[in-house]
């Protein structure tokens, strides 16, 4: 498990530079299932859940973690069980370590995936 899961998101009001593509790629080595967007300003994980209920349960679990970290993802549920999670730090217009911390915590959540 990534060391990121043990870190805490820090408040970000802007004024700090977003991570470069190279820096983001370094963090992504610890999060195999996440992908960097084409513009390098967000990361995304797509999951095919077992069913609708499993997708909603994961959304609830993500919401709890996001609230505790005060860092909130964009969540997209389509086709009743296709869940996408997108992370970026809007205050800097790109990625910060917070995005990777939250991604690691989301990775650690139990998931009922469709195999």
Whether the pLDDT of residue 112 is over 70: the answer is: yes
CA–CA separation, 51 vs 9, rounded Å?
31
β-strands 74-78, 82-87 pairing: antiparallel
Whether the pLDDT of residue 104 is over 90: the answer is: yes
Average pLDDT, stretch 55-73?
97
Q: Which residues, 6+ apart, have CB-to-CB distance to 5 below 8 Å? A: 101, 104, 105, 107, 108
Whether the pLDDT of residue 45 is over 90: the answer is: yes
Average pLDDT, stretch 76-97?
96
**Which pLDDT tens digit goes with each residue over 26-40?**
999 999 899 999 999
Q: What are the φ/ψ torsions at residue 10 (nearest 5 degrees)?
A: -110, 145
Whether the pLDDT of residue 1 is over 60: the answer is: no
Whether the pLDDT of residue 76 is over 60: the answer is: yes
- What percent of the chain has a predicted confidence (pLDDT) above 70? 98
pLDDT at 84: 98
pLDDT at 2: 72
Q: Is the dihedral of CA 4, 57, 83, 48 positive or negative?
A: positive
């Amino acid at each position: 498990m990534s060391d990121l899961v043990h870190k805490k998101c820090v408040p970000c009001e802007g004024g700090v530079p977003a991570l470069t593509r190279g820096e983001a790629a370094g963090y992504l080595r610890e999060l195999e299932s996440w992908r960097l967007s084409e513009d390098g300003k967000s990361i995304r994980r797509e999951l095919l859940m077992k069913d609708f209920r499993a997708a909603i349960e994961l959304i609830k679990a993500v919401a709890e973690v996001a609230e505790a970290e005060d860092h909130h993802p964009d969540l997209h549920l389509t086709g009743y069980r296709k869940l996408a999670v997108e992370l970026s730090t809007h205050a800097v217009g790109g990625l910060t370590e917070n995005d990777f911390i939250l991604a690691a915590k989301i990775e650690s959540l139990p998931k009922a995936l469709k195999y």
